Amino acid sequence: MVVHSQKKKNLTDEDKQLAVLDPELADNQGDRWSFVAVLPDSGFIHTVHHSKRTVEQAEVFLSKVKQKSDKMAPLFLSDAWFYEQALYNTYCRYEPKPYCGRGRPAHPVQIIDEQLKYAQVYKERDSKGKLKSLTTRIIKGKEKEILAIVRKSGRSKGINTSFVESRNQKYRKDDARLSRQTMCHSKKARYHDAHADFLTTVVNYCRQNEALKELINPNAKRFETKYRRKSPAMAEGLTDKILTIKELLMTRVPKSTIL
């Protein structure tokens, strides 16, 4: 996702010099990435974090995922980004090293959470961006355990990033601010982020997910209801119906439920 009309690699030396003098301008220049975490069982967009594409920001994103969950290390599937060390730094504990009595005490030892499982999907593309090959890499955990978790949901048979890719398509389809070199592209990061956050809520609460529909009347006749349509929020038990935009904006949320 790009906020400025130019990608980071296309910024001129003058643009970079102006960014040094103005932090706000630097934040609005170049690339603006959205880190997205999707729950595969329901398609619910769990966490979104907007920032620059750095390892430090990846750790901030993962810390938000951990804070909004039970803090247990789940299975992570991603493309070939730099999540490995960020995951290790987020889902770990530090144990002191015994002091031998001489010199400075040693630094604590980092112990990676044994429950953490992580696999990557590596996509190789040609010069025109066309997909040439797709391979998977097991970074942490065993392949049998990872495949068992993936197949348990009943919505996938192998290691892939289809759930996140599907959400990315929805963002690009419904958010004109992501169209670079157009009149609609974002000029300021805060409006760019706000629009993406609003669209995230709409997808979670106001859009039905065809994969979640429930058969309730197999012998339904014409004009009778055969399926119960569900939104990702319904699948997560957060609401009992698909909300309209008006209901979404007018519903008063109790303070105790706000994350």
Cα-Cα-Cα-Cα dihedral sign, residues 196, 202, 207, 213: positive
User: Which pLDDT value is given to residue 2?
Assistant: 37
What percentage of the chain exceeds 70 in pLDDT?
Answer: 86
Cα-Cα-Cα-Cα dihedral sign, residues 8, 11, 15, 21: positive
Note whether 31 and 2 are within 8 A (CB): yes
Provide φ and ψ at 111, rounded to 5°. -115, 115
Q: For all residues of the chain together, what is the average pLDDT?
A: 84
String of DSSP letters for 58-88? HHHHHHHHHHTTTS---EEEEESSSHHHHHH
User: Which pLDDT value is given to residue 207?
Assistant: 92
User: In this structure, are strands 117-125 and 75-79 parallel, antiparallel, or unpaired?
Assistant: parallel
**Closest of 89, 108, 86 to residue 97, by C-alpha:** 108
What's the pTM? 0.81
* pLDDT < 70 stretches in the chain: 1-30, 255-259
What DSSP state is assigned to residue 42?
Answer: T
Specify the 3-state DSSP secondary structure of 30.
coil
Q: How far is CA 211 from the centre of its chain?
A: 19
User: Which pLDDT value is given to residue 91?
Assistant: 94
User: Which pLDDT value is given to residue 24?
Assistant: 65
Angle between helices 83-90 and 55-67 in degrees, nearest 10? 40
User: Each residue of 17-75: pLDDT tens digit?
Assistant: 666 666 666 666 667 888 999 988 888 999 999 988 888 999 999 999 999 988 888 88
User: Which pLDDT value is given to residue 253?
Assistant: 72
